[in-house]
Amino acid sequence: MTARLQLQHVTKRYPAVVANSDVSLSVQPGETHAVLGENGAGKSTLMKIIYGAVKPDEGTVLFNGQPVQIRNPQEARALGISMVFQHFSLFDTLTVAENVWLGLEKSLSLAEVSERIRAKAMEYGLDIEPGRPVHTLGVGEMQRVEIIRALLSNPQLLILDEPTSVLTPQAVEKLFVVLKKLAAEGCSILYISHKLHEIRELCTACTVLRGGKVTGVCDPREESNASLSRLMIGAEPPALQHRAVQAGATVLEVKALDLARESPFGVDLHGVSLQVRAGEVVGIAGVSGNGQRELLYALSGEDTRAGAATVAVSGHPVGHAGPRERRALGLHFVPEERLGRGAVPTLGLAHNLMLTRNEAIGRGGWVRLKALERQAQGLIERFHVRAGGPNAAAKSLSGGNLQKFIVGREIDANPKLLIVSQPTWGVDVGAAAQIRGEILALRDAGCAVLVVSEELDELFEICDRLHVMAKGRLSPPVARADATVAQMGEWMSGLWHGDVQEVAHDQA
């Protein structure tokens, strides 16, 4: 059988790093092939070469047995290759339908494209409104747009980079049904994920990259999570020590927060109440676009429209206070958007520290550059960030490495209250274990931590209590020991009202 895709001895060099070194890979028709590797292993670069977004320095690409030179994504799509990027390629000022229209043949009208989007969205359970401007979407919603756009082109080869990081367990199951059906119909799938159990369930082949080189090929169905971890990072990630501790005083309190959406496509918040105490991790689960963004803006100080007493930090009413005043009270915040909000793309890592840290700023506002670089280098070493030094531009880092730096920047500040959105989105199993371990260490040291995540496994691993957010409302809290994945999945649809009395009774 002729392979759908073959890479032969592909190499790609950058000034500071060799991203891919002599990589060979073969994908058969109808095969779901995983590419596994830690952050910075060269996975995304390899996928961009296949999709025509990056040109290799050496090597050959064959598609359906024919040598091809894919000079741009348009040529890749013409061949039958579609890709869903981890970092999205959407125009903020255009609508969902207009973004999708750009990648389709121009014989279609915008109305026809909108109708196709609605049909695909309904078929795959990926709720999205074609008329919404992209800048009003959350990260999860943007990824749904990318998935729908890729599927609309009926690809022969579909490349998926972390496609399930924003889906409920039920939606993941539904997507897997779709992907298995696509594979059965002959579509080849290249699948990048750090969720090892997904790879074992879905994929029939796996190529492992480490340091830009192929270090192993296996059938993931015959491997365990532990053996895949060893192939990927050379060891198993350390087991987390989640020991019971007595929570202290309330650090964050939100009382009946009602907030009208600022964007016409946003979500109104209705009666949101929650408490986070010193020495505990509280988690908020839910599918992106259900009010998490609006709640986080209200908690971080970016939205100051809430009543002053509606949000309190350590007993101080801060509803009208901005981010700087809240930071003075010990609140540190990690947003879900790495580039643009978490870091300035063109600035070096050292200068990005000054977004939230001021230790290297001397009298009169003078920046002590050497001290700033030492501080950044310390974070790079502590959190194992792969970067070309403390002055490397934020945009030059892989997504997972930038995430490690941003999370590390805020954890290293020894906050009294840490609010973090999607702490391990797109990071490998070793880095995810480290970040989660650092969050638990903060908690054990008495910090109050609020984690907003669409990774249910993550929330069950690190949280003491859990809420679910759906349609702008927050569920009652449930102790982690009493929560189940099935229950959380149901609550993500807003179906907790019948469970409220039962939950309250369990907690009493």
Give pLDDT tens digits for 71-122: 999 899 999 999 987 667 789 899 999 999 987 777 889 999 999 999 988 8
Q: d(Cα 101, Cα 113) in Å, to the nearest integer?
A: 6
DSSP 8-class letter at 370: H
Q: d(Cα 149, Cα 82) in Å, to the nearest integer?
A: 9
Letter string b/e over residues 114-144, b meaning 16 or more CB atoms within 10 A of that residue's CB: bebbeebbeebbbebbbebbbebbbbbbbbb
Q: Cβ contacts of residue 143 below 8 Å, gap of 6+?
A: 84, 88, 163, 165, 166, 288
Q: d(Cα 291, Cα 267) in Å, to the nearest integer?
A: 5
**Structural domain total, the chain:** 2
Q: d(Cα 205, Cα 219) in Å, to the nearest integer?
A: 5
Give the CATH number of the domain where residue 285 resides: 3.40.50.300
Q: How confident is the model at residue 147 (pLDDT cuts 50, 70, 90)?
A: confident
Mean pLDDT over the full length of the chain: 89
**Residue 453 forms part of a structural domain:** yes
**Residue 302 forms part of a structural domain:** yes
Q: Is the domain of 82 the same as that of 206?
A: yes
Mean pLDDT of 435-451: 94
Q: Is the domain of 198 the same as that of 288?
A: no
**pLDDT of amino acid 498:** 52
Q: d(Cα 47, Cα 64) in Å, to the nearest integer?
A: 17
Q: Is the domain of 199 the same as that of 294?
A: no
**pLDDT of amino acid 165:** 65
Per the CB < 8 A criterion, the answer to whether 281 and 480 are in contact is no
Instruction: Assess whether pLDDT exceeds 60 at residue 57.
Output: yes
- In three-state secondary structure terms, 475 is coil
**Residue 486 forms part of a structural domain:** yes
Q: Is the domain of 218 the same as that of 257?
A: no
DSSP 8-class letter at 37: -
**Residue 11 forms part of a structural domain:** yes
**Residue 212 forms part of a structural domain:** yes
Residues above pLDDT 90, as percent of the chain: 61
Greater pLDDT, 368 or 339? 368
Q: Is the domain of 143 the same as that of 209?
A: yes
Give pLDDT tens digits for 253-269: 999 999 999 888 789 99
**Residue 193 forms part of a structural domain:** yes
Q: Is the domain of 229 the same as that of 257?
A: no
Q: Is the domain of 220 the same as that of 271?
A: no
By residue range, what is the domain housing residue 269? Answer: 250-507
Q: Cβ contacts of residue 484 below 8 Å, gap of 6+?
A: none
Q: Is the domain of 225 the same as that of 311?
A: no
Residue with structure tokens 């964007």? 263
Q: d(Cα 218, Cα 226) in Å, to the nearest integer?
A: 14
Q: d(Cα 87, Cα 398) in Å, to the nearest integer?
A: 10
**Residue 244 forms part of a structural domain:** no
Q: Is the domain of 200 the same as that of 300?
A: no
Q: d(Cα 62, Cα 471) in Å, to the nearest integer?
A: 47
Q: How confident is the model at residue 211 (pLDDT cuts 50, 70, 90)?
A: confident
Orientation of helix 429-444 relative to helix 225-233, angle to 10°: 100
Q: How many CB atoms lie within 10 A of CB 174?
A: 16
**pLDDT of amino acid 411:** 95
Q: Cβ contacts of residue 41 below 8 Å, gap of 6+?
A: 209, 210, 211, 212, 232, 428
Give the range among 77-91, 392-406, 448-462 with minimum mean pLDDT: 77-91
Q: d(Cα 501, Cα 242) in Å, to the nearest integer?
A: 28
Give pLDDT tens digits for 293-324: 999 999 999 999 999 999 999 999 999 999 99
Q: How far is CA 108 from the centre of its chain?
A: 33
Instruction: Assess whether pLDDT exceeds 50 at residue 501.
Output: no
Of 175, 201, 233, which residue is a domain's last?
A: 233
Q: Is the domain of 214 the same as that of 262?
A: no
Mean pLDDT of 218-234: 87
**pLDDT of amino acid 254:** 98
Q: Is the domain of 218 the same as that of 325?
A: no
**Residue 242 forms part of a structural domain:** no
Q: d(Cα 179, Cα 167) in Å, to the nearest integer?
A: 14
Instruction: Assess whether pLDDT exceeds 90 at residue 469.
Output: yes
Give pLDDT tens digits for 332-352: 999 988 888 899 999 999 999
Q: What is the pTM of this model?
A: 0.73
Q: Is the domain of 206 the same as that of 310?
A: no
Sign, Cα dihedral of 396, 400, 405, 410: positive
